[in-house]
Amino acid sequence: MFENTEVDRLSEDTSSMAACYETDPGHDSLSSLQHLPRQGRGQGAKQVGRPSSRQSNDVTEGQTNGYKSFKAEELGALLGPDISSEDDKLPLGLEEDLPGVETSLLNVPSKCAEQAEEFVKKVWAAGWNVAHHHTLPDWLKDNDFLLRGHRVPTNSFMACFKSIFRIHTETGNIWTHLLGMIAFLGIAAYFLTRPSIEIQWQEKAVFSAFFMGAILCMTFSWVFHTVYCHSERVGRFFNKLDYCGIALLTIGSFVPWLYYSFYCRLEPKVTYLALIIFLGTICIVVSMWDKFAQPQYRPLRAGVFIALGLSGVVPAMHYVITDGFWHAINFAALGWLVLMALLYIVGAVIYAARIPERIFPGKFDIWFQSHQIFHVFVIAAAFVHYHGISEIANYRLTLGDCIAREFE
């Protein structure tokens, strides 16, 4: 977990603050803080870890008292509008310490006050995103097997996007598809900027459908995982976009595959393209249904998207029947397509079954939870598909133009 590094940084801060108190002629050093009420001392420090030595313990206690001395309203303003509205956004220690403590440090010179302010910000930043599953509102309780490290509702896009760089249950989900998006943006940029003598505009247009699907899917996904904790309304909206992204990736994946597999056979090509667009649209419409995103429909969601992907069995069988099995393997990248389908299906099953956290609840709160594994499988499947359609395209283009007989 992240607490150790946060603690290191915080103890650096406490040291500098201690120096401030000791050298400041207007203040009686740390010992004066011992006069403050005993109640609640050191609780804030407990939130971010226990000091290792007696000396740092003293400093941290003094420190804790230091930030206790802010007026509650000042702290509210400092922490932003998110905090004042809902109690559960503050670290537990801060929350208990704030009321009624308004006086003692108001007289400290401004330099120390600024440092204390900095410190409060950092304590808050270190502790705000840690919440136990049972403390979450119902709409954030998506997975009962992830116990700790949940972000709490923020009502702030800024706070959500800052949390990308923090460690919590969604960090892995955000970064897997954020990096996946960057990778596919890079591949698309490379592919689409090749000179036309190397890759013609028709190929670029057809592959663009796949790139669009992959990039939109991963973008919607990482943005959804980032803003999921904003509020129920925002989380629900981006959750729907996330599901739309899966449907768009599936449609986008079918376009180049059908285009090159049935390159010279207009009728099946158009029929299957229309079919996948129709089925994908149904998936998008179903995704718009509010209840679709609820935890109890997880298997239904996995089933719907597996079914959409498996609709590709029909054109694949068509190709095998007309051209033969070995032809399909060697020239239509059937092997790669089967591998891609397996990756999607295994990923979706892991997603629906919530393995491994179901077997070891609380052990995969941060890393290696089912959703992250599912994300990695989606990226792997998209790469396999890109490789597969590149092979089909290369083969098809070496054959030259369609001969007239193939149009019949």
Q: Which residues are annotated as a binding site for Zn(2+)?
A: 225, 371, 375
Least Cβ distance, residue 95 to Zn ion (angstroms): 31
The smaller minimum CB distance to Zn ion, of residues 11 and 221, is found at: 221
Least Cβ distance, residue 218 to Zn ion (angstroms): 10
Least Cβ distance, residue 280 to Zn ion (angstroms): 18
For 71, the 3-state DSSP assignment is coil
- Report CA-CA distances (Å) from 204 to 123, 142, 294: 51, 40, 39
The smaller minimum CB distance to Zn ion, of residues 171 and 221, is found at: 221
Return the half-sphere exposure (C-beta side, CA atoms, 13 A cut-off) of residue 353: 11
Contact between residue 375 and residue 221 where contact means Cβ atoms under 8 Å apart: yes
Residue ranges of the binding site: 225, 371, 375
Query: Which residues sit at the interface with Zn ion, rule CB under 5 A?
Result: 221
Residue nearest to Zn ion (CB): 221
The smaller minimum CB distance to Zn ion, of residues 143 and 221, is found at: 221
Return the half-sphere exposure (C-beta side, CA atoms, 13 A cut-off) of residue 404: 0
The smaller minimum CB distance to Zn ion, of residues 316 and 348, is found at: 348
Least Cβ distance, residue 401 to Zn ion (angstroms): 43
Least Cβ distance, residue 244 to Zn ion (angstroms): 13
Place of tokens 């973008």: 219
The smaller minimum CB distance to Zn ion, of residues 64 and 221, is found at: 221
Q: Report the alpha-carbon distance of residue 181 to residue 222 in Å, rounded.
A: 9
- The full DSSP string for 55-110 is HHHHHHHHHHHHHHTS-HHHHHHHH-HHHHH-GGGS-HHHHHH-TT--SGGGGS-H
Radius of gyration over every alpha carbon of the chain, rounded to an integer in angstroms? 28
Dihedral sign for Cα 393, 395, 399, 400, please: positive
Least Cβ distance, residue 215 to Zn ion (angstroms): 15
The residue among 207, 227, 239 whose CA lies nearest residue 391 is 207
Q: Report the alpha-carbon distance of residue 116 to residue 66 in Å, rounded.
A: 7
The smaller minimum CB distance to Zn ion, of residues 221 and 250, is found at: 221
Least Cβ distance, residue 221 to Zn ion (angstroms): 5
The residue among 159, 136, 6, 23 whose CA lies nearest residue 82 is 159
Contact between residue 249 and residue 382 where contact means Cβ atoms under 8 Å apart: yes
Least Cβ distance, residue 214 to Zn ion (angstroms): 14
The residue among 230, 14, 5 whose CA lies nearest residue 120 is 14
DSSP label at residue 295: G
- Report CA-CA distances (Å) from 396 to 11, 201, 269, 323, 391: 64, 15, 15, 14, 9
The smaller minimum CB distance to Zn ion, of residues 221 and 226, is found at: 221
The smaller minimum CB distance to Zn ion, of residues 145 and 331, is found at: 145
The residue among 316, 245, 237 whose CA lies nearest residue 275 is 316
